Amino acid sequence: MIYKGEYHLATHEPIISKKLFDKVQEVMKNRGRVHEIKKHNFSFLGLMKCASCGASITAEKQKGHHYYRCTKKKGLCQEKHFLREENLLEQIKTYLQKVSLSSQDTEKVLFELDKEKEQAKEQTKTTVQNLKIQLKEIETKLEKLLDLHLEDNLSTEEYSVKKQKFLTEKLEIQERINDFEQKGLSWLEPAREFVLSLNQATKLLSSENKEEMKTFLKNIGSNHILQNRQLIFSLKIPYDLVAEQSEATTNLLTFPKWCAHQDLNLGPFA
């Protein structure tokens, strides 16, 4: 006990034991604390929505397994099924196979891209040289046109009409030169990123990293939906073209069929 600011050993019988007192103190101390809630790691949350109502897909753990289902947050929903994560993973792996390219084939395609790059450089160089010759010819015509006008061999009206015609041609040629010089090989880097992303799908199949699989599928597509325990993928161009060809044929993908820059509408892979 405390008497006049000093501790003294009490001689009376304690109302409660010290052990019980300490236990009460511990409970009181923890009363204001926020208790940690154990969270399960559901790898594929955020990947898909319900095909029936458009609501998000949630997940729960039952008997040691993860199950995915509609949240039904948008009201009544006809979707009653639960999809076990193991089955979902198998569907994802099957689809990754359709948009995958082995490391060996990736090297072949990148080699072809490098060859096409060199060919495109030569073609661009030749085209720009020819355009500059045409540009010089237009400038010469403009000079001659001015001389004719100054020598009164051409009326002001005729001079203005022909001058405008030549200036328009000159502008068009200059724009074409700028396009070739600045954008001539702009397709190359997106094409390389696309090829490497197909190889990434192969690596994901080997690693079985679920989080990276989800990120990859969100990057190459959007609006994936879950319907009757089936994950329906919605891929961006040109990944959808690769998947379609993979479904239509068992032949290996080849560069001329699906990776020529003139046939692809490529954007950055992110």
∠ CA 123-124-129 to the nearest 5 degrees? 100
Looking at residue 258, what is its pLDDT? 45
Is pTM beyond 0.85? Reply is no
Secondary structure class of 187 (helix, strand, coil) = coil
Neighbouring residues of 65: CB distance < 8 A, sequence distance ≥ 6 = 84, 85, 86
User: CB of 103 within 8 A of CB of 250?
Assistant: no
- H-helix or E-strand spanning residue 70: strand 65-70
Task: Give the number of other CB atoms < 10 A from CB of residue 70.
Answer: 23
| Integer Cα distance of 84 and 75 in angstroms | 23
Task: Give the number of other CB atoms < 10 A from CB of residue 270.
Answer: 7
User: CB of 88 within 8 A of CB of 106?
Assistant: no
Residues of the chain with pLDDT under 70: 1-25, 27-40, 249-270
